[in-house]
Amino acid sequence: MADETPTATAAATPTSTPSAVYKPADASGPAQNVPVPVLPEVAKTETKEGAEAFTKYWFSVLSYAYETGDTDALSKLSKPGCAFCQGLVADIEAAWAEGKWVSGGQIEIPVATATPSTDGSTQVVLQVLQKELVIRNQDGSPYQEKTAATNSGSVAMLNFADSGWVVNDLGLIR
């Protein structure tokens, strides 16, 4: 048997593909690579915890819509009869019209507490923190006065159906 000397071969070396880095919007342009919200497994369950997780998810979808102008998921998670929800969709679409974009406006929900009601709906009371929001023109200048950061109470009315939770109504607690 001949003496076989191993020869160097070009091995496929794994290269790290740079993952897209999130860049918030500013005067130079819209946000880039905004992470898409992911529905937690528990939010798919018809439980108190599921309603709370879904409501937090819904607000992460709202935050995503502010940053990207994409309101499709927000519309699907809200009943057409939810006037406040549809108003948010319309406001976001207007803010992104004609080459404008939104900087800021990100939302956090530190507290959400669900209470099932006797009519089959579930009420979720929550704290909504929203960062300062600026709608910007194509050149990056402010389209209008900035909207100050808020810390408010809200209540969402949800129903659970075959496709999961949906927001029937939404309002501020005054």
* Within-domain flag for 23: no
pLDDT, one tens digit per residue, over 50-82 is 999 999 999 999 999 999 999 999 999 999 999
pLDDT at 20: 87
Q: How far is CA 94 from CA 25, 90, 137, 160, in A?
A: 17, 6, 12, 30
Neighbouring CB atoms inside 10 A of 169's CB total 18
Q: What are phi and psi of 163, to 5 degrees?
A: -90, 0
* Within-domain flag for 16: no
First-to-last alpha carbon distance for the chain, in angstroms, is 90
Give the number of domains in the chain.
Answer: 1
Q: Is residue 119 very low, low, confident or very high in pLDDT (cuts 50, 70, 90)?
A: confident
* pLDDT above 60 (res 5): no
Which amino acid is it at 34?
Answer: V
In this structure, are residues 55 and 126 in contact, taking their beta carbons and an 8 Å threshold?
A: yes
* Within-domain flag for 79: yes
Name the maximum alpha-carbon separation found in the chain: 90
HSE-up of residue 114 (Cα within 13 Å, Cβ side): 22
* Within-domain flag for 26: no
* Within-domain flag for 36: no
Q: Is residue 11 very low, low, confident or very high in pLDDT (cuts 50, 70, 90)?
A: very low
Mean pLDDT value of segment 148-160: 96
**Residue span of the structural domain in which 105 resides:** 41-173
HSE-up of residue 141 (Cα within 13 Å, Cβ side): 2
How many helices (H) and strands (E) would you count in the chain? 3, 6
Pick from 137, 127, 139: which is nearest to 173 by CA? 127
* Within-domain flag for 71: yes
Mean pLDDT taken over the chain: 90
* Within-domain flag for 32: no
* pLDDT above 70 (res 150): yes
CATH number of domain containing 149: 3.10.450.50
* Within-domain flag for 164: yes
Q: How far is CA 25 from CA 19, 21, 30, 32, 146, in A?
A: 18, 13, 4, 7, 14
* pLDDT above 90 (res 101): yes
Q: How far is CA 166 from CA 19, 55, 104, in A?
A: 33, 9, 26
The pair of three-digit structure tokens given for residue 31, joined into one six-digit string: 């946000």
Mean pLDDT value of segment 124-135: 97
